[in-house]
Structure 1
Amino acid sequence: MAPMSLFSRNTELPGLHGVLRDCTPAGKSSKRLREGDIAVVDAPDITRQLAQRLIEAKPVAVINLARFTTGSVPNFGPLLLLDSDILLVEGVGEDLKAGMRDGKKARVMEDGTIFHAERAIGAGTVLDRAAAEHRFTEAQQGLVDHMEAYFGNTIQFIHSEAPLLIDGVGVPDTGAEITGRKVLVASPGTGLRNQVTLLRNFIREYEPVIIGVDGAADTLVELGHAPDLIVGNPAHIGADTLRSGARVVLPAEPDGHAAGLERIQDLGIGAMTFPAATDSATDLALLLAEYHGAEMIINAGPVLDLEAMFADAPQATPAALLTRAKVGGKLVDADLIANLYTVRSGGGLAWLWAVLGILVALAAIVLIVGTGGDGSFTDNLIDTWNNIALKFQSWFN
């Protein structure tokens, strides 16, 4: 469920009254949403799953810091909430959170204004049934139009790039040893630094071929990982990274023109071009790794999924869809690999500590026994072992 705060209802005062309960991850309140509460969520395009969970708790109103429907997808969440006779107030914004105090009484009015005592701490727009249905219809038609255009461009890309997708025509021979190895393709994104940090044990164990895409190559170098290949426009990459010894591949237009070639020449660095109709360096890096026989390709950076396609995200191009279809089962999201190398705290570590404790105790005993007699360290150990064995024999004789 999205971060949530609560108002408990109090029917003695006008409007919807209650005690403010901060149930966000950083909040101190331990109380959950109860029947008659007013839920405050931050959920743009609120999903059906979240709406159903709210309905099960039977709140009298739901206040959304964002909009219940932004128009990018036809989501059923608002309609489900309205079917349950729940008041919906949207677009309140972050100002409400600044005025919220855990454990304090507050009320929400039918015009969408939220009060703490006599002071207004936020205001939004009440979403009624007609507006919700209109937005749903518009979003549905907009999504259909968007997907028709998307797949139309996909077909066009197939016509122009079939030789590349099928036979790898145009893929450069980088000279890097990729066949049969794991390849890490790092693309620019907000969570890239954390992803690469969590992959450090994987990188240490398997020593994958590392491909830095555009500015992600700088991030790799900053984290202590030297990329084997750099794919992207050199104008977006630091000079020290370009001089790090990695082979540089420049995305080029079908006619061979490559942006950033002048920078490469100024730095005195060798480079090769990769002509294609797509301008996505990430797509080219994935195709390069697949063509040269990578065993597994781990993609760190923004992922391509249905939500990204619906929202027309920058990485959700027709070329990206076809590239991932070409790579197929070799492609793995970096978060999944990182999860395998994440040791959970708590009971999962108890047995490790127990084994460590036993080993330390044994080492201490050996040290004490070996140095506790008049003979050498080895003689003391042998004498002690013989005494223990004779003692056990006497018990059974």
Structure 2
Amino acid sequence: MSILNWSSLSLFSSKPLPLCKGKISVGAITKVLLRDLPPGRIVVLQHRDLDEVAAQELIDQKVKAVINCQETMSGAYPTHGPLMLLQQQIPIWEADAAAFESFTTNAEIAVYEDRIFLGDREIPCSSFTREKWLGMQQLANERTTKLMEQFIENTLTYAMRDMHAIMEPLPQVFLQTDLTDKHVLIVSRGKGYKKDLLAAKAYIAEVKPILIGVDGGADALLECGYRPHLIIGDMDSVTDKALACGAELVVHAYADGEAPGLLRTNALGLRAHVLPCFGTSEDAALLLAYEKRCEVLVTVGARTHMIDFLEKGRAGMGSTLLVRMKIGARLVDIKSIGLLYKRQGWTKEAGTTLFLSLFFIALGLFQLHWIVKRVAHVVWKLGGEG
């Protein structure tokens, strides 16, 4: 009888179990939300075309699920960000942009196949699937040629606009950190930055470069056990912990001198320089190190191609093109130096190889010694018999 009752409850239950439920963290700007995100949260975003860097950060933070109140992928350009989440069994639901204001951090929600329950409120949603990602990716690939034309036009337009600015020296910033004739490692939180920073371990240990974190790049350095000498940026994606680590701070300001990032450093009671400069914070860091007469500039996580810039909301790379033209041969990507030091550095594999080599050499010498003794014995015996 008890089995029949249990079966009846299962069959006639009017409300299915939720696919996902838990506390939420809400952020209109993903990189700001990621600064202090507790693990195991359902995150509610407004992130159109979810990029790979943000996806990897969400994976690293062990989020339970993503609710995106924007198009997770619009088909404007190719991106593997959504697929990365789905491959890690992190589900994605999309809700209407207007629904974003309904969510508040620490609220409890339950997510079903096509709706979200937030208290007494029911919010429609739809699941972002691998099939949808594949369709959007194919659409984006078909648009690539036209997209590249627009990107090149935008890049050249802004390069022409800013070409006179690149000729002028930066406003003077009196740093305590001396960069003259030194190697400088500039870390941005771009694609593959963690892997590249780990690959630079031997280089950092031997050369001991000046370490510059561009915004969240400072946290990347701290995560790998390094304290940055300088932090440069808008100060919007770097954590309070990194800002207070003792690094010298340089707030990247607009060319007209407006520096929104200064509000944050002032609120934390931290002293910071202000550097008005066109372009991105990465551009500003490169130019500052160059004008402080560094010997070599090494980049980690730097944006290098069209998709990198589009994912960061930049329709061109005019300033970056000009900066790299100005710096010239001093600029090196960590991938090149990482290969060199990987070959030269002492690794576990190298140690094992050397040990085995010495073992077999010793074994060979022992065998040779044994053979010589046997031959000498035979010769002596034959001589005695003669």
State the TM bucket, normalised to the shorter chain: 0.5 to 0.7
1:46-74 CA-to-partner distances (Å, cap 9, x unmatched) read xxxxxxxxxxxxxxxxxxxxxxxx7869x
Instruction: Tell me which residue corresponds to 1:226.
Output: 227
CA spacing shift, 1:353–1:245, aligned 2, 3 Å: same
Q: Is the 8 A contact 2:234 2:253 kept in 1?
A: no
SS of aligned partner of 1:153: helix
Q: Which amino acid aligns with 2:355?
A: W
Instruction: Tell me which residue corresponds to 1:204.
Output: 205
Q: Is the 8 A contact 1:189 1:301 kept in 2?
A: yes
Deviation at 1:335, TM superposition (A): 1.4
Distance of 1:157 and 1:167 partners within structure 2: 10
Q: Is the 8 A contact 1:303 1:333 kept in 2?
A: no
SS of aligned partner of 1:152: helix
1:159-189 CA-to-partner distances (Å, cap 9, x unmatched) read 4x2xxx2242315232211111110000012
Q: Which amino acid aligns with 1:291?
A: E
SS of aligned partner of 1:149: helix
Distance of 1:209 and 1:302 partners within structure 2: 17
- Return 5+ residue gaps in structure 1 as ranges: 1-69, 74-93, 99-121, 125-131, 366-397
Instruction: Tell me which residue corresponds to 1:77.
Output: none
Query: Which residue, out of 352, 355, 371, partners 2:354?
Result: 352
Q: Which amino acid aligns with 1:336?
A: S
Distance of 2:360 and 2:151 partners within structure 1: 63
SS of aligned partner of 1:234: coil
Deviates more, 1:229-238 or 1:299-308: 299-308
SS of aligned partner of 2:231: strand
Q: Which amino acid aligns with 1:353?
A: F
Instruction: Tell me which residue corresponds to 1:152.
Output: 157
Is residue 288 of structure 1 aligned with residue 288 of structure 2?
A: yes
Q: Which amino acid aligns with 2:162?
A: F
Q: Is the 8 A contact 2:298 2:333 kept in 1?
A: yes
Distance of 2:249 and 2:156 partners within structure 1: 32
Distance of 1:71 and 1:213 partners within structure 2: 27
Is residue 331 of structure 1 aligned with residue 331 of structure 2?
A: yes
Q: Is the 8 A contact 2:202 2:342 kept in 1?
A: no
Q: Is the 8 A contact 1:229 1:249 kept in 2?
A: yes
1:232-259 CA-to-partner distances (Å, cap 9, x unmatched) read 1234222221121111000112232211
For this pair of structures, how many residues does the alignment match? 247
Deviation at 1:341, TM superposition (A): 2.4
1:332-355 CA-to-partner distances (Å, cap 9, x unmatched) read 111121122225999977752345
Instruction: Tell me which residue corresponds to 2:269.
Output: 268
Q: Is the 8 A contact 1:248 1:270 kept in 2?
A: yes
SS of aligned partner of 1:225: coil
Deviation at 1:303, TM superposition (A): 3.4
Distance of 2:182 and 2:220 partners within structure 1: 22
1:272-310 CA-to-partner distances (Å, cap 9, x unmatched) read 0110232x111111001111111111100033246757x
Q: Is the 8 A contact 2:298 2:334 kept in 1?
A: yes
Q: Is the 8 A contact 1:171 1:288 kept in 2?
A: no
| % same residue | 26
Distance of 1:190 and 1:123 partners within structure 2: 24
- Return 5+ residue gaps in structure 2 as ranges: 1-74, 79-84, 90-129, 133-137, 367-386
Distance of 2:202 and 2:348 partners within structure 1: 21
Distance of 2:362 and 2:235 partners within structure 1: 53
Deviation at 1:218, TM superposition (A): 1.0
Q: Is the 8 A contact 1:296 1:331 kept in 2?
A: yes
Higher relative contact order structure (alpha carbons within 8 Å, sequence separation ≥ 6)? 2
Distance of 2:199 and 2:227 partners within structure 1: 16
CA spacing shift, 1:347–1:220, aligned 2, 3 Å: closer
Deviates more, 1:240-249 or 1:165-174: 165-174
CA spacing shift, 1:314–1:297, aligned 2, 3 Å: farther
1:93-119 CA-to-partner distances (Å, cap 9, x unmatched) read x99xx9xxxxxxxxxxxxxxxxxxxxx
SS of aligned partner of 1:143: helix
Q: Is the 8 A contact 1:171 1:291 kept in 2?
A: no
Instruction: Tell me which residue corresponds to 1:213.
Output: 214
Instruction: Tell me which residue corresponds to 1:257.
Output: 258
Distance of 2:276 and 2:240 partners within structure 1: 23
Distance of 1:123 and 1:281 partners within structure 2: 37
Deviation at 1:265, TM superposition (A): 1.5
Q: Is the 8 A contact 2:198 2:224 kept in 1?
A: yes
* Structure whose residues are more often helix by fraction: 2
Deviation at 1:123, TM superposition (A): 8.8
Pairs within 5 Å for 1:151-170:
151-159=156-164, 161=165, 165-170=166-171
Question: Bigger radius of gyration, 1 or 2?
Answer: 1
Q: Which amino acid aligns with 2:342?
A: T
CA spacing shift, 1:139–1:306, aligned 2, 3 Å: closer
SS of aligned partner of 1:302: coil
Q: Which amino acid aligns with 1:274?
A: L
CA spacing shift, 1:223–1:144, aligned 2, 3 Å: closer
SS of aligned partner of 1:352: helix
Distance of 1:219 and 1:256 partners within structure 2: 28
CA spacing shift, 1:288–1:348, aligned 2, 3 Å: same
Instruction: Tell me which residue corresponds to 1:3.
Output: none
CA spacing shift, 1:177–1:328, aligned 2, 3 Å: same
Distance of 1:359 and 1:250 partners within structure 2: 59
